[in-house]
């Protein structure tokens, strides 16, 4: 059915590349099945598929079961879905058609959100093809509202996050402003994130007081500051804290390692990150030694790539904001949403600094591999994301000042501020 959908323009070009994909979404993940599709699969009579379905599907019998997560496919010893053939193509789709796929399978990597009667379509960067389409446009991500074919089998996330003041959609205005901040190229990306954090901290105060009518005034105030050269240049005076960055991010990496990693593509990136930072996990780690290597890699190998391809990181953050409907004001945890986003981005950057040292630089192909494999591991482990916040909170790093120090880059390209005078 055709619906009016708000989407990033790259979604118009997306088409699954199937067996040509370098990181199959049918390998390494648990595929959940809803009750409706489970019953359909149990009633299939097919010479090739019936036996595989009966053997490959298992009911969820714990108290976590629901109609939406009623059963799942049991992966084989290679962590492959039992429905995959030797060419990495889905037997269900080949033999029965796409309409017989589960909502999870037919929707991924798309994310379809609804707010009231409005549809929003985005996609997960855990898909290599989406990552290329979303991130490799130097002009940045643009959005269109257009007629789009929304399939009835797609999973839909209904989000109750509409906050209107005198007919004005404040929820969307906040998200639009967050995107405007991240796309403001008068600032380096780390300073854009810091500016966003300062705004989010003020927004938290307003929401805590339930002064929703003041939100638009706050947006207008900070939109003015974003265009004020003196205010923006003051962000350059914020000091970085490389030892804190390394200490925090090492804890996050260790947490991820303890939870287990089953993506060989990410394991390669993870190992290269450790090698590039001269990290030997079997030895006692000295923050001072890592700091020296980190700064060397950062200046010699990562900054040259960042200066030429900063739009990749901008696009990454814009996609995050749109996909996650950030910030959601139907929760009291406004600033915590920002902490989560900041920690994920800071950890991604540390991967790049390490890998750039291992490879003596970064290419766009390598950047896509790092971001896609990192996102695949991060996005699909809720317990890990919870652990991220806990580590930051336990260490007392959950203030604006600490998050700014976590994000701040050592090298600042102040020349771009001169553009604001032209």
| pLDDT, tens only, 145-159 | 999 989 988 989 888
**How many angstroms separate the CA atoms of 298 and 301, rounded?**
6
Query: What pLDDT was estimated at residue 163?
Result: 61
What pLDDT digit, counting tens, does each position of 68-87 carry? 899 999 999 888 999 999 88
- Give the least confident one: 168-182, 341-355, 376-390: 376-390
Confidence of residue 414 (pLDDT cuts 50, 70, 90): very low
**How many angstroms separate the CA atoms of 91 and 53, rounded?**
10
User: Does residue 315 contact residue 140 with C-beta atoms inside 8 Å?
Assistant: yes
Q: Is the pLDDT of residue 311 over 90?
A: yes
Ramachandran area for residue 274 (φ above 0: left; ψ -120 to 50: alpha; else beta): alpha
Q: Is the pLDDT of residue 418 over 70?
A: no
The residue whose two tokens read 């089998």 is 153
Among positive and negative, which fits the CA dihedral 316, 321, 324, 327? positive
Q: Which residues contact 86 (CB under 8 A, 6 or more apart)?
A: none
**Helix, coil or strand: residue 229:** helix
Task: Please choose, from the candidates 357, 341, 367, the residue with its C-alpha nearest in 3D space to the C-alpha of residue 292.
Answer: 357
Identify which of 24-38, 220-234, 284-298 has the greatest average pLDDT.
220-234
User: Does residue 163 contact residue 327 with C-beta atoms inside 8 Å?
Assistant: no
Query: What pLDDT was estimated at residue 88?
Result: 86
Query: What pLDDT was estimated at residue 166?
Result: 52
* Overall pTM > 0.85: yes
User: Does residue 372 contact residue 22 with C-beta atoms inside 8 Å?
Assistant: no
**How many angstroms separate the CA atoms of 414 and 45, rounded?**
67
- Give the least confident one: 3-12, 73-82, 390-399: 390-399
Q: Which residues contact 121 (CB under 8 A, 6 or more apart)?
A: 5, 6, 7, 11, 110, 111, 112, 113, 148, 150
Q: Is the pLDDT of residue 261 over 80?
A: no
Which stretch of DSSP H or E encloses residue 303? helix 303-323
Q: Provide mean pLDDT across the span 119-136.
A: 97
Whole-number percent of the chain with pLDDT over 70:
95
Q: Is the pLDDT of residue 48 over 50?
A: yes
């Amino acid at each position: 059915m055709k619906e009016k959908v708000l989407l990033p323009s790259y979604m118009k070009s997306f088409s699954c590349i199937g067996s040509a994909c370098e990181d199959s979404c049918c390998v390494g993940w648990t595929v959940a099945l809803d009750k409706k599709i489970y019953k359909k699969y149990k009633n299939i009579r097919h010479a090739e598929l019936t036996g595989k379905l009966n053997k490959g599907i298992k009911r969820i019998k714990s108290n976590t079961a629901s109609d939406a997560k009623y059963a799942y496919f049991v992966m084989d010893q290679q962590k492959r879905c039992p429905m995959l053939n030797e060419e990495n193509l889905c037997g269900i789709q080949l033999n029965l058609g796409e309409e017989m796929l589960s909502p999870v399978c037919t929707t991924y990597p798309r994310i379809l959100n609804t707010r009231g009667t409005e549809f929003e379509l985005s996609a997960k960067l855990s898909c290599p093809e989406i990552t290329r389409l979303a991130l490799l446009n130097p002009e940045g991500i643009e959005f269109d509202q257009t007629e789009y074919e929304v399939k009835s089998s797609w999973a839909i996330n209904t989000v109750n996050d509409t906050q209107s003041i005198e007919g004005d959609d404040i929820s969307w205005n906040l998200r639009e402003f967050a995107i405007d901040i991240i796309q403001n190229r008068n600032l380096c990306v780390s300073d854009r994130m810091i500016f966003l954090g300062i705004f989010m901290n003020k927004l938290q105060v307003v929401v805590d007081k339930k002064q929703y009518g003041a939100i638009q005034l706050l947006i207008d105030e900070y939109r003015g500051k974003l265009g004020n050269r003196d205010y923006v240049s003051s962000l350059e005076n914020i000091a970085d804290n490389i030892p804190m960055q390394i200490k925090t991010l090492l804890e996050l990496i260790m947490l991820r390692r303890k939870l287990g990693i089953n993506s060989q593509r990410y394991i390669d990136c993870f190992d290269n990150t450790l090698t590039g930072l001269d990290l030997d996990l079997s030895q006692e780690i000295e923050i001072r030694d890592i700091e020296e290597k980190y700064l060397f890699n950062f200046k010699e190998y990562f900054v040259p790539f960042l200066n030429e391809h900063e739009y990749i990181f901008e696009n990454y953050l814009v996609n995050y904001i749109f996909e996650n409907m950030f910030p959601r004001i139907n929760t009291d945890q406004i600033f915590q949403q920002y902490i989560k986003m900041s920690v994920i981005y800071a950890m991604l950057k540390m991967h790049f600094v390490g890998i750039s040292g291992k490879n003596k630089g970064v290419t766009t192909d390598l950047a896509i591999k790092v971001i896609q494999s990192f996102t695949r591991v991060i996005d699909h482990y809720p317990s890990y994301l919870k652990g991220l916040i806990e580590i930051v909170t336990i260490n007392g790093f959950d203030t604006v000042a600490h998050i700014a120090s976590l994000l701040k880059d050592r090298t600042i390209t102040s020349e771009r501020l001169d553009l604001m005078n032209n």
